[in-house]
Amino acid sequence: MRARYAKAVAHTWRRGDAADLTSDPLELVRYACLAASSHNTQPWSFELDRDVVLIRPDFSRRCPAVDPDDHHLYASLGCAAENLVVAAQASGRSAEVSYDPASTGVRIALGEDGPSGSPLFEAMFARQCTRTVYDGRALSPSELRALESLPQEEGVSLLLLRSEQQKRAVTDFVLEGNRVQFADPAWAAELRAWIRFDARTAERTGDGLYGPVMGNPDVPPWFGRLVMKMSFSADAQNRTDHRNIDSSGAIAVIHSAGNDPQHWISAGRCYERLALQAAALDLRTAFINQPVEVSHLRAQLAQYLGIGNRRPDLVIRIGHAPLGVRSLRRPPAEVLVAGRPEHVP
């Protein structure tokens, strides 16, 4: 990895002090932006008021091919909201989250009477989507208990699949999803547009999928596009996904009772909470969302899981592995739409 990229990573992921939130409200936005987002699009903007933060969808960052109904876009807002809640609580503030119908975003009311800290604050700097092979170990009973006992948002549930038979079934859905997606030129073009083949481009944009984060070398963009043209195939991706799922200790499925932005945001919050708890346990997570992105597979997955009309929102593999290369973020000032308040007491 280039030295400059390593410096940008260190800056993006620097561990701040929760106390800084009282003197610099932009820190709250920075922590929120460390959350996961689909293709690292960071499809959000923030409006900061004294006691209220509004996280709005940024539709200029939509991914209509992979995410035609904006499910992932709203789930990403939920991820950012959850990080913001954790950061606020770490600084002793309460954070009341609600859906804002006017903006179809998230409203977070901050109060002075919060808990005295948050056990997941540290995990915000450790969480990442780790797309490497894991070590094949099952999750221990205490790890499973810690994940299963996480509180879920209203209407949202978490299923943890652990048997070899369940892993094989999910693998089959993922492989079929790859076949469908790789056959769609619009899907491939959209993915290519969010790939950052070299560190210079990744640093300049502060978003997207940097090659080494995805397990590929840093190469000049022209060369990356050429290699992609020649070697991009469902078969190659299937071999990778097969091996990766096989090496994971468990698969989480987040599903919800409703199929609307409010529930998608809640599902995103539950994912981020799960990923933070996993990171706190030194567990790695990575999405394998193909079965929920291809609509006919989503229906088949719901049937396989026996969850009736509920929507399977997100599929995540979990296991043990070293941390991988980190992704970057845009600077907080770039995602702030309203004026920066002088001071949040």
Ligand X SMILES: Cc1cc2nc3c(=O)[nH]c(=O)nc-3n(C[C@H](O)[C@H](O)[C@H](O)COP(=O)(O)O)c2cc1C
Classify each residue of 138-170 as buried b or exposed e, where b means 16 or more C-beta atoms within 10 Å of its C-beta.
Answer: ebeeebbebbeeeebbeebbbbbbeeeebbebb
Closer residue to ligand X (CB): 71 or 93? 71
Given the rule CB under 6 A, which of 124-132, 144-152, 166-174, 184-192 is the region that contacts ligand X? 124-132
Element holding 99 (H helix, E strand): strand 94-100
Closer residue to ligand X (CB): 22 or 228? 228
- The span from the CA of 241 to the CA of 140, in Å, is 23
CB atoms within 10 A of CB 114: 17
Q: What's the token pair of residue 270?
A: 């539950």
Classify each residue of 225-262 as buried b or exposed e, where b means 16 or more C-beta atoms within 10 Å of its C-beta.
Answer: eeebeeeeebeebbeebbebbebbbbbbbbbbebeebb
The 83-122 contact track toward ligand X, x by CB under 6 A, reads: ----------------------------------------
Q: Where are the alpha helices (DSSP H) in 48-130?
A: 71-90
Could you say whether residue 171 binds ligand X (CB under 6 A)? no
Could you say whether residue 12 binds ligand X (CB under 6 A)? no
207-226 residues near ligand X, rule: CB under 6 A: 209
Could you say whether residue 79 binds ligand X (CB under 6 A)? yes
Select from 30, 289, 297, 311 the one that contacts ligand X (CB under 6 A).
289
Closer residue to ligand X (CB): 23 or 233? 233
Least distance (Å) from ligand X to the CB of residue 23?
A: 26
Least distance (Å) from ligand X to the CB of residue 281?
A: 17
Could you say whether residue 28 binds ligand X (CB under 6 A)? no
Could you say whether residue 327 binds ligand X (CB under 6 A)? yes
Of 192, 202, 196, which Cα lies nearest the Cα of 228? 192
Q: Provide the sign of the torsion angle of the four alpha carbons 29, 35, 39, 43, taken in this order.
A: negative
Could you say whether residue 248 binds ligand X (CB under 6 A)? no
Select from 128, 171, 266, 277 the one that contacts ligand X (CB under 6 A).
128
Closer residue to ligand X (CB): 114 or 133? 133
Q: Note the residues at the interface with ligand X (CB under 6 A).
A: 36-40, 72, 75-76, 79, 128-129, 131, 209, 286-287, 289, 327
